[in-house]
Amino acid sequence: MKARVNLKNLLILSICSSLVSAHLCSAFGLSPTTLEFDNVKAGMSVSSEFQLSRGEAYKESHYEIETTGDLEENLSVANDLTLAEGVYSQMIPFHVDATGLNPGSYETTILVKTEAATGYFVGIPFTVIINVSEEDVLSYEVKYVQASMDQESNTPSFTAFVENSGNQTFKIDALKLKITDQTGAIVDEVLTYLNEAIEVPPFSKESITLKSEYSFKKSGLYNLDLSLISENEVLFEEKDLVLQAIISDSLRVWIKRIGALLLVALSIYLLRKNQHEKTR
């Protein structure tokens, strides 16, 4: 999925904004102004959304929505929208059903319009482009990976944001972890098979969480190399993730040790004191 800015739409916004003081139009904008979906297979469906924003929210505003173009019969979107007083923006969802479409490029315009104080309607177009293909395409991007640790089980977990722009499901069924300490020495290498595969559907964005079976034995600063695996194939690697492991049990152990030492010291003190009193 590719988002683009249409210069014609920006020009409309610029003119509209400059005329607000003259009450010739109601200033609002759409973001993005174009969404393009590649590798859509016939029979698939695509769902997404765009944002409507306005500069002032001192009163309720009503907007009408119309569609024209190649996908007019395949695209579903609300017929109108109302922003209540105090609301500056709202997302507008839409859905495209590619059933019956032959390979090729299809374009449709969603026109969002509102009535200005003069009685004229001001509209801003949003463009949807669907490129239909017969090929199976796995296309994805892992935006970022963050590591954290479960304080109860002392196991590391990872949160990743995945954007799947292909027509195949992005699936993870295992993760491999290489753990090194600050000297570079390998602490352990662990392969964890997930009880249930994590999936990100085509043309969607999701935040996923993965948990390793490895349990840290001692506190310290570690470097982690993470591999995301699907059907024994590595789909993504992230190296040198830094994780500070704090083992809560270690604190309890030290408290117990200190307590035991204090008891020994107290016993020795009382024993010597007793012996001293007997010799007097």
Burial of 152 per CB tally in 10 Å (0-12, 13-18, 19+): exposed
Rg of the Cα atoms in the chain: 31
For residue 131, which of 68, 215, 40 has the smallest C-alpha distance? 40
Give the 3-state secondary structure of 97-109: ECCCCCCEEEEEE
The pLDDT assigned to 252 comes to: 57
pLDDT tens for the 280 residues of the chain, in order: 666 545 444 444 444 444 444 344 458 999 999 999 999 998 899 999 999 999 888 899 999 999 999 998 999 999 999 999 999 999 999 999 999 999 999 999 999 999 876 777 889 999 999 999 999 999 999 988 999 988 788 899 999 999 999 999 999 999 999 999 989 999 999 999 999 999 999 999 999 999 998 988 888 899 999 999 999 999 999 999 999 888 765 555 556 677 778 887 777 777 776 766 666 5
Q: Determine contact, residues 157/149, Cβ cutoff 8 Å.
A: yes
Specify the amino acid at residue 128: V
For the record, the structure tokens of 161 come out as 């944001």
- What is the C-alpha to C-alpha distance for residues 20 and 57, in angstroms, rounded to an integer? 13
DSSP single-letter state for residue 155: -
The pLDDT assigned to 10 comes to: 43
The pLDDT assigned to 188 comes to: 92
